[in-house]
């Protein structure tokens, strides 16, 4: 592996590049390699190209990974770096997850130039978000506010906020922390109030399953606790067959060998919500995700999922 340049595929947004640089730095440290042993290749994805309408209208999951995965399959790159929450639950044939980095703060961030918290927003205030999951939960917490679409990368959304397009917006704490912009967070929102997206805060390294050399090379970067948690969450999402058209939230946490998974399914307007919490030994992460989803379906979540098809 050290005899050739390792090619890393990523999107070109500031956050995506920060994540690719973090992976490169960790690989350099793990293997004692210089920076010029790596090449970062930037791909423009379908999700980056479409800015004029909600992603849920054009396919949802996979829109920020498809072109990079095609490059991986074509052997243009050796590994791909993704925000794991953007990845499809079923990966393309021949691809797999080689490592998951330690998870960042999983919470959503409330950001406003004029108000300290979501609860402090005046009646009729405008909240900008492109996420149906955030929209649904905001409407449950504050049915009196108006939610408007808010597309673009972190910098674009913050600019829109400064231009007065909305009174507040919501972003992932993890992304802001990785960009060195934690000071822009007005208030983190507790997961009890706003449950995060599946795999929020986790960075995944995707590889070709038959590339044994790269499999061994990235393995030291895998963070077992994060990997177990996101395995449970992604199994939960897989069983629900969730997409960007269905507001689904899920968070697994590991404590003393026990995984606790919280899951929720909403109507987009927040008018209905089904939620559940289940526990299992850490070694049963995938099974926990599936059984938790099954229990949620038995509670009645299937009716919500059917409405989003």
Active site residues: 86
Per-position b or e across 94-113, b if 16+ CB within 10 A of its CB: ebebbbbbebbbbbbbbbbe
Cα-to-chain-centroid distance, residue 65: 12
Helices (H), the chain: 14-31, 46-49, 66-73, 132-141, 154-162, 173-178, 212-218, 224-240, 285-296, 302-307
Segment holding 239, helix H or strand E = helix 224-240
Distance CA 96, CA 79 (A): 10
Angle between helix axes 285-296 and 224-240 (nearest 10 degrees) is: 30
Angle between helix axes 14-31 and 154-162 (nearest 10 degrees) is: 140
Neighbours of 227 (CB within 10 A): 19
Distance CA 8, CA 23 (A): 9
């Amino acid at each position: 592996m050290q005899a050739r340049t390792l090619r890393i595929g990523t999107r070109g947004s500031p956050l995506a590049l920060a994540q690719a640089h973090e992976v490169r730095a960790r690989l350099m440290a793990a293997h004692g390699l210089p920076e010029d042993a790596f090449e970062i290749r930037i791909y423009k994805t379908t999700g980056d190209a479409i800015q004029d309408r909600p992603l849920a209208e054009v396919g949802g999951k996979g829109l920020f990974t498809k072109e990079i995965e095609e490059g991986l399959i074509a052997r243009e790159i050796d590994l791909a770096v993704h925000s794991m929450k953007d990845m499809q639950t079923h990966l393309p044939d021949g691809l797999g997850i080689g490592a998951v980095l330690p998870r960042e703060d999983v919470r959503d961030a409330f950001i406003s130039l004029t108000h300290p918290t979501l609860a402090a927003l005046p009646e009729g205030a405008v909240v900008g978000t492109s996420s149906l999951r955030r929209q649904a939960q905001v409407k449950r917490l504050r049915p009196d506010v108006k939610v408007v679409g808010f597309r673009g990368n972190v910098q674009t959304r913050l600019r829109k906020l400064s231009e007065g397009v909305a009174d507040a917006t919501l972003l992932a704490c993890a992304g802001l922390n990785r960009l060195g912009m934690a000071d822009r967070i007005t208030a983190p929102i507790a997961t009890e109030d706003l449950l995060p997206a599946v795999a929020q805060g986790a960075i995944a390294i995707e590889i070709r399953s038959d590339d044994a050399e790269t499999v061994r090379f990235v393995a030291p970067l895998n963070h077992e606790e994060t990997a177990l948690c996101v395995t449970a969450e992604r199994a939960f999402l897989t069983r629900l067959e969730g997409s960007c058209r269905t507001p689904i939230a899920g968070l697994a946490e590991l404590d003393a060998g026990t995984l606790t998974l919280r899951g929720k399914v909403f109507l987009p307007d927040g008018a209905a919500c089904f939620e559940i919490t289940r526990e299992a030994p850490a070694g049963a992460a995938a099974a926990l995700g599936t059984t938790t989803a099954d229990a949620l379906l038995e509670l009645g979540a299937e009716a919500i999922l059917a409405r989003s098809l």
